Amino acid sequence: MIGVSAKSKNFNSANLVTISTSHDLAATYGIYVQKVKGALDFLKRKGEIAHNWLDSLGEESFTDIGDIHFGPRDIILFCYIKADTKEDFLIKLNLFKAVLEGPGLRTLKLPFLEDTLDVYFKDGGALNMLTGWNNSLLVGKFILKLREPMPSTA
């Protein structure tokens, strides 16, 4: 599993967010997760959920287990990356991008969920540098958009 140490006001340092393989994102890539959105959101039902027959009162709702299907779940990770030098920053960023953008699903483990989520990299966002390139510590923020194509829990 690729781990993301989650040190921020939303997570305590004992919690760990992991995405596939076996590397701690904080130790390997200098990437930390500040906030997670979407992992606990209600899922959107797909398909028809009811039918209104013209010759009867009310509507027929489709609530049997075989009638209930859900669409994908989007999960957003608000992250930052930090490094001591420009070279180290670029190496860590490019290595992380290569792992993230590779084929297949990733296993996402969040500290507040018992189960893991199978996700893929949906969208990338812009890297917003918070420091200058010549500083002794380089820090950049970005938003990582993941999708769970077949939600494991409703």
SS (HEC) of the chain? CEEEECCCCCCCCCCEEEECCCCEHHHHHCEEEEEEECCCCCCCECCCCEECCCCCCCCEECCCHHHCCECCEEEEEEEEEEECCHHHHHHHHHHHHHHHCCCCCEEEECCCCCCCEEEEEEEECCCEECCCCCCCCEEEEEEEEEEECCCCCC
What is the band of 11 on the pLDDT scale with cuts at 50, 70, 90?
Answer: very low
Is the pLDDT confidence value at 8 over 50? no
**pTM summary value:** 0.78
What is the pLDDT, as a whole number, of residue 9?
36
Average of per-residue pLDDT across 42-55: 83
- Domains for the chain: give ranges and CATH numbers: 2-43+69-148 (2.40.30.200)
Lowest mean pLDDT among 9-13, 96-100, 123-127: 9-13
Residue-wise pLDDT for 53-106, tens only, equals 888 888 888 777 777 888 999 999 999 999 999 999 999 999 989 888 889 888
Rounded to an integer, the average pLDDT of 36-62 is: 85
Give the pLDDT mean for 15-34. Answer: 75
